[in-house]
Amino acid sequence: MKAAVIVFPGSNREHDVVDALNRASGSKPQLVWHGEGTLPKADLIVLPGGFSYGDYLRTGAIAAHSPIMREVKARADKGTPVIGICNGFQVLCESGLLPGVLLRNAALKFICRNVDLKVENSDSLFTRRYNPGDVLSVPVAHGDGNYFADNETLDRLEGEGRVAFRYCTAEGAVTAEGNANGSARNIAGIFNARKNVLGMMPHPENATDPRLGSTSGKPLFDAIAEALA
Amino acid sequence: MTTTYPNDLMGLSREEYDRVLAIMGREPSHTELGIFSVMWSEHCSYKSSKKWLKTLPTTGPRVICGPGENAGVVDIGEGQAVIFKMESHNHPSYIEPYQGAATGVGGILRDVFTMGARPIANLNALRFGDPSHPKTRHLVAGVVAGIGGYGNCVGVPTVGGETNFHASYNGNCLVNAMTVGIARADRIFYSAAAGPGNPVVYVGAKTGRDGIHGATMASAEFNEDAEEKRPTVQVGDPFTEKLLIEACLELMETDAIVAIQDMGAAGLTSSSVEMAGKGNLGIELNLDLVPMREEAMSAYEIMLSESQERMLMVLKPDRQELAQRIFDKYELDCVTIGTLTTTGRLVLKRNGKVEADMPVQPISEQAPQYDRPHMATPRKPQIDAKDVKAVDAATALTKLMGCPDLASRRWIWEQYDYLVRGHTVQRPGGDAAVVRLPDSQKGLALVVDCTPRYCVADPEMGGMQAVVETWRNITAVGGLPIAITDNMNFGNPERPEIMGQFVGCIDGMRRACEALDYPVVSGNVSLYNETNGQAILPAPVIGGVGLIADIDRTASIGFKAAGEDIIVIGETLGHLGASLYLREIAGSEDGAPPAIDLAAERHNGDLVRRLITEGKVTACHDLSDGGLLVGLAEMALAGNLGAMLSLPNMLVPMHAFLFGEDQGRYIVTTTDGAHLLQTIRGEGIAAMKVGTTGGPALTGLPGAPISLASLRQAHERWLPQFMSAADAA
Amino acid sequence: MKARVHITLKSGVLDPQGKAIAHALGSLGFAGVDDVRQGKFIEIKLTEQDRGKAEAAVKQMCEKLLANTVIENYTVELVG
Amino acid sequence: MKARVHITLKSGVLDPQGKAIAHALGSLGFAGVDDVRQGKFIEIKLTEQDRGKAEAAVKQMCEKLLANTVIENYTVELVG
Ligand SMILES: Nc1ncnc2c1ncn2[C@@H]1O[C@H](COP(=O)(O)OP(=O)(O)O)[C@@H](O)[C@H]1O
Ligand SMILES: [Mg+2]
């Protein structure tokens, strides 16, 4: 498997995801600096977490307009799998690859802790090693993870099975209590229509080693490795 | 001839000005005087503290570089070194908590990566005023957001820290930040300039009129008109810092750099003077070439600006282009602003005019040094437990677990990204953070600690205790403590009683470091922490670093399984003087703090570490604030598992037994208590079984069981509730 | 020439910051605050001297980067 | 009554956001952007009908909460 992890100025979780992919697939993804002329051939494109351009103006906004994102869009349109985690999700939304936007957390504070996530749809390259209804423990680390879209968009996402994960309680209840950041309908991650693009706020790459507290994220990387082997 | 003194001596005394005249042989220019003023400020020259700092042990078989450079460097084997330091940003944080704390983090990061290290962890030690003081909430909110705002953005996990509240910090909060980095032991970068003719290169953010005279401000007391004295506040730009880290580390992979130094306090002045001074060279700068973001800046302003995210380097002449290419990639300025000379003089030009021409060496070598009068703190009486109000265990425990100094800090650490980089094995909330080293089974145990109420009662014991507590915390996770950094926060050193606190604390620290083979490799001093003559409780904050040989052989504080034996290691004598019980329950801050037996500390700790690495214990926690019952409650909450206590025959009153703060103690759990007791006692160390894990409560004490649910509520509720009124601010 | 750009959230879009400010004002004892909305105010110094061209350019900047038109409105005003 | 509050950084205070925006506009191909400063724009709906009283109240809100007067300036404008 050849994966390309795109590094923007201010990205900071690129090595975390490189390690997770490496552990799952046995091959080390390539780090691609945003300013490098062209995107190398890749079976998977990753937009990692961090604070691209300091998250100034709006999270992900400036990175979304960087030239390399045109290339990412073109590849995604042709079917190349793309995963955006945290800041990567914000970039995907700002660039129009995914609908909606990530607003400031409802409590207005940065939040770093393990949250419970309910798997909504396992019918994708990324989620097929889970079962719908599985409850995962995965960390979040963000200040702007409050997913917002208008009702029409939300209905469409739900109707088309494009909600990947929702915040929930430890028992799997999708309630306000289990909502980590105020996201509309507890949404933590979504797909594009073709389900080759996944954006999610939590960090599965930080949940792949029992020593670090959880292995809930491992099946996601195993699934990717298996599908793209 | 009589000297006419300028109206504004910029904080220098008349005697110091006389010394300037002697060095210069003429009256200094405005710019030259500014340079003397910042270089001779307390903050940069350590003029009140140096004599005493020199008494600390700073060497050891692992020490690669002790105090004197930007940060300390310690060998951790396999060609790797750990580089770390702590620094204060007390005054700026009081004036503007968010930016003050944020730029404090930025500054300490630069001290560490300037030596070639990749920063892998941050910690912070915070002290705020009484919770009921009108400013406290605002300061807590701003400082915590600032530390998170900066650290989260640069992608360095904030893995630990400590927070205290006490009225003595009402007008003077303390914000101490520590950074830990990793480097190749044979690729350490130093600040001594070399090679006359070599280019002096400025990299990073542009210079503005930020924080001019910040170093002098950090050396002055606050008074009523502090609000008036606000200099332009420095604003941090963590995004630029992140790029600066990556660019510097990338350049450090090449052979381009001869010397490098961050621009911290006193900016371009201290970096250029220190680099040239250490290399015994002169330096000539054309200030017109300095990247500036404001118009018409004078030489004085450029030299004294404390704009953030800047570094100064000496490069090999044929490597300028290489450096340029790397900094271009990160879209950062990289400009040659001068050259090294053989003249031994600092020469500054601005608009074709020489604005300063002064000898470099005397600026540091002839800086004033004071042996300030110091008065020992009078001994406090020993408190007899029988004279201290006894309260039933459940009431006292619940109150203590929810008191400001013991309540959960979750509200704080959840605002810090403690996971980024993917190596955080033990998160905030335990005795010490544990961070794995990339591609290795090894790890580091990291902690900051200090107990100011002990320091004020008995500076020597307090200084000693701060060192010992970090040592114990590292030991409790299974780490081998290898070295410390310190941050000495005190009041006005011109007062003999304050200077006496300083001298006492240093002496206690020295004795502890010597006894534990635990050298001081870097540090920082912050004096004049006073408002209207009211000094803070002295806080010699210690940052400890420990080495973990195998991250799969560590311990954490939570009870692991029901039915395990709970054993207390070390002697329990029921010392209540200067304890939290005395303060929170009996309402008194009196009494001598607990005594420390350094030999016993070492003996007990070495055994505990061995038990952990040999896999003989299932959980471990050291005992400190609040004593035995608080320690048990913390282990129970962390493991979400209660305990049936069966207390042995006590020779002291129950409340002293349960809440006394005797030192040198640990609680461990094990599946085979009898065997473990035998092992421990075989070493000549006191140990007793106090109960068995299990159930949803702490039972076995007189009175009703104390449910974990109610303890958790008391413990978790206080801080969020206190802060909720400030959420939006 | 200087442009003053106001960027505000469309009505119907959640404004966590505005809500929190309103709440905080209430707890600080300010009565009679019915609603608070927080937006951005961006000042841009331009070399362009022609008003029309400047305005067109700034509008484009808003469309392309400064505003997220899914959730935000913007207005452009030229001064000097 | 509605108040429009502008909060801007004092001159000389570093504006990392403005800097990043200016830079991004440059790389998007917008030439002639000399400087960008980002501030906040807050709209407050008030029950108060008296202009003088409303203005005084909003100024107090700025001092106490909305602006960080160590590094920011504010202006208050009443409409409606
Ligand atoms: N309390 C202390 N104990 C030991 N070393 C100290 C102490 N305070 C300062 N130092 C050392 O003195 C040197 C200068 O410190 P400082 O002025 O804070 O450095 P910088 O200018 O790099 O921030 C550093 O090497 C620091 O480690
Ligand atoms: Mg330094």
User: Is residue A162 predicted with pLDDT exceeding 50?
Assistant: yes
Contacts of C68 in chain A (CB under 8 A): 58, 61, 94, 101
Under DSSP, the state recorded for A120 is: -
pLDDT at position B212: 83
CB B687 within 8 A of CB B616: no
Contact B264 CB / ligand 1 (< 6 Å): yes
Backbone angles phi, psi at B471, to 5 degrees: -60, -40
pLDDT tens, residue by residue, B401-431:
999 999 999 999 999 999 999 999 999 999 9
The whole-angstrom separation of Cα B628 and Cα B633 is: 9
The whole-angstrom separation of Cα B501 and Cα B488 is: 11
Over residues B35-56, the mean pLDDT reads 96
Alpha-carbon B554 to chain mean position:
24
pLDDT at position D12: 86
Cross-chain residue pair B418–A16, CB shorter than 8 Å: no
Neighbour count for residue A87 (Cβ, 10 Å): 28
Q: Tell which phi-psi region holds residue B419, choosing left (phi > 0), alpha (psi between -120 and 50) or beta.
A: alpha
Our answer to whether residue B675 is catalytic in this structure is no
Contact B523 CB / ligand 1 (< 6 Å): yes
pLDDT tens, residue by residue, A129-152:
999 999 999 999 999 999 999 999
- Give the type of residue at D30: F
Q: Which residues, including other chains, have CB under 8 Å from residue A152's CB and lie 6 or more apart?
A: none
Neighbour count for residue B371 (Cβ, 10 Å): 10
Tell me, what's the ipTM?
Answer: 0.93
* Enclosing H/E stretch for B514: helix B496-516
By Cβ distance, the residue of B210, B235, B331 closest to D16 is B235
pTM for the structure as a whole: 0.95
The whole-angstrom separation of Cα D27 and Cα B109 is: 29
- B→A contacts (Cβ < 8 Å), by residue, are 145, 148-149, 152-155, 237-240, 242-243, 329-331, 413-425, 427, 436, 551-552, 727-728
User: Is residue B227 predicted with pLDDT exceeding 70?
Assistant: no
Secondary structure (DSSP) of C5-48 = EEEEEPTTS--HHHHHHHHHHHHTT---EEEEEEEEEEEEEES-
CB B659 within 8 A of CB B627: yes
* Percentage of residues of chain B with pLDDT beyond 70: 96
Interfacial A residues in 16-45 facing B (CB < 8 Å): 16, 19-20, 33, 35
**What tokens does B327 get?**
């900094």
Mutate to test the pocket of ligand 1, among B83, B274, B522, B542 (most ligand atoms within 8 A of CB): B522
The whole-angstrom separation of Cα B387 and Cα C13 is: 63
User: Is residue B653 predicted with pLDDT exceeding 50?
Assistant: yes
Dihedral, CA of residue A108, residue A109, residue A112 and residue A118, to nearest 10: -10
Secondary structure (DSSP) of D13-69 = S--HHHHHHHHHHHHTT---EEEEEEEEEEEEEES---HHHHHHHHHHHIIIII--T
pLDDT at position D11: 86
Cross-chain residue pair D39–C40, CB shorter than 8 Å: yes
- B/e letters for C66-78, b = 16+ CB within 10 Å, e = fewer, are bbbebbbebebeb
CB A206 within 8 A of CB A212: yes
pLDDT tens, residue by residue, A52-96:
999 999 999 999 999 999 999 999 999 999 999 999 999 999 999
* Enclosing H/E stretch for B88: strand B80-88
3-class SS of residue B1 = coil
Neighbour count for residue B227 (Cβ, 10 Å): 10
**What tokens does B469 get?**
């507590």
Q: How many CA atoms lie within 13 A of B370 on its CB side?
A: 19
3-class SS of residue B462 = helix
The whole-angstrom separation of Cα B645 and Cα B690 is: 6
pLDDT at position B221: 63
User: Is residue B232 predicted with pLDDT exceeding 70?
Assistant: no
The whole-angstrom separation of Cα B361 and Cα B366 is: 8
pLDDT at position B230: 43
User: Is residue C65 predicted with pLDDT exceeding 70?
Assistant: yes
End-to-end CA distance of chain A: 5
B72 C-alpha to center of ligand 1: Å? Answer: 9
Dihedral, CA of residue B476, residue B479, residue B484 and residue B487, to nearest 10: -40
3-class SS of residue A160 = coil
Q: Which residues, including other chains, have CB under 8 Å from residue B345's CB and lie 6 or more apart?
A: B282, B357, B358, B359, B360
Under DSSP, the state recorded for B112 is: H
**Ligand nearest B519 Cα, by number?**
1
Rounded alpha-carbon distances, angstroms, from residue A208 to A39, A112, A172, A216: 27, 17, 21, 7
CB B719 within 8 A of CB B668: no
Angle between helix B708-724 and helix B627-639 axes, rounded to 10 deg: 90
pLDDT at position B222: 58
Our answer to whether residue B133 is catalytic in this structure is no
CB B513 within 8 A of CB B602: no
Q: How many CA atoms lie within 13 A of B280 on its CB side?
A: 0
The whole-angstrom separation of Cα B81 and Cα B513 is: 20
Of B592 and D80, the structure prediction assigns the larger pLDDT to B592
By Cβ distance, the residue of D34, D41, D61 closest to C47 is D34
Extended beta strands in A111-158, E state: 111-119, 135-142, 146-148
Q: Tell which phi-psi region holds residue B154, choosing left (phi > 0), alpha (psi between -120 and 50) or beta.
A: alpha
Over residues B519-538, the mean pLDDT reads 95
**CATH architecture under which domain D2-79 falls:** 2-Layer Sandwich (3.30)
Q: Which residues, including other chains, have CB under 8 Å from residue B708's CB and lie 6 or more apart?
A: B636, B637, B640, B641, B642, B696, B697, B698
Contact B269 CB / ligand 1 (< 6 Å): no
B262 C-alpha to center of ligand 2: Å? Answer: 5
pLDDT at position B523: 97
Interfacial C residues in 9-28 facing B (CB < 8 Å): 20-21, 23-24, 27
User: Is residue A48 predicted with pLDDT exceeding 70?
Assistant: yes
pLDDT at position C27: 87
Neighbour count for residue B506 (Cβ, 10 Å): 24
Alpha-carbon B618 to chain mean position:
30
pLDDT at position B307: 95
Pairing outcome for strands B520-526 and B480-489: parallel
Query: What residues pair up with B180 in beta bridges, in sequence order?
Result: B84, B121
Alpha helices per DSSP H over B192-298: 214-217, 238-252, 267-278
Of B230 and B69, the structure prediction assigns the larger pLDDT to B69
Pairing outcome for strands B539-548 and B619-622: unpaired
Q: How confident is the model at residue B231 (pLDDT cuts 50, 70, 90)?
A: low
Over residues B685-692, the mean pLDDT reads 97
Q: How confident is the model at residue B219 (pLDDT cuts 50, 70, 90)?
A: low
Dihedral, CA of residue C77, residue C80, residue D1 and residue D2, to nearest 10: 50
CB B85 within 8 A of CB B152: no
User: Is residue B476 predicted with pLDDT exceeding 80?
Assistant: yes
Backbone angles phi, psi at D2, to 5 degrees: -125, 140
* Domain edges within chain C: 2-79
The whole-angstrom separation of Cα B462 and Cα B467 is: 9
Nearest to A59 by CA among A177, A168, A130, A144: A144
The one catalytic residue among A93, A160, A203, A226: A203
Nearest to B593 by CA among B405, B460, B470, B406: B460
pLDDT at position B3: 83
Contact B85 CB / ligand 1 (< 6 Å): yes
The whole-angstrom separation of Cα B240 and Cα B251 is: 16
Q: What is the mean pLDDT of chain B?
A: 95
User: Is residue B111 predicted with pLDDT exceeding 60?
Assistant: yes
Alpha-carbon A35 to chain mean position:
22
The whole-angstrom separation of Cα B113 and Cα A60 is: 27
User: Is residue B564 predicted with pLDDT exceeding 50?
Assistant: yes
The whole-angstrom separation of Cα B228 and Cα D10 is: 16
The whole-angstrom separation of Cα B265 and Cα B41 is: 10
Q: How confident is the model at residue B456 (pLDDT cuts 50, 70, 90)?
A: very high
pLDDT tens, residue by residue, B178-211:
999 999 999 999 999 999 999 999 999 999 998 8
Neighbour count for residue B84 (Cβ, 10 Å): 32
Contacts of A206 in chain B (CB under 8 A): 419, 422
Counting beta carbons within 10 angstroms of the beta carbon of residue B51, is it exposed (0 to 12), middle (13 to 18) or buried (19 or more)?
A: middle
Contacts of D42 in chain C (CB under 8 A): 18, 21, 36-39
Q: Atom 14 in ligand 1: which residue has the minimum CA distance?
A: B68
Cross-chain residue pair D45–C25, CB shorter than 8 Å: no
* Enclosing H/E stretch for D73: strand D72-79
User: Is residue B496 predicted with pLDDT exceeding 70?
Assistant: yes
pLDDT at position B228: 39
Extended beta strands in B628-684, E state: 643-645, 666-670
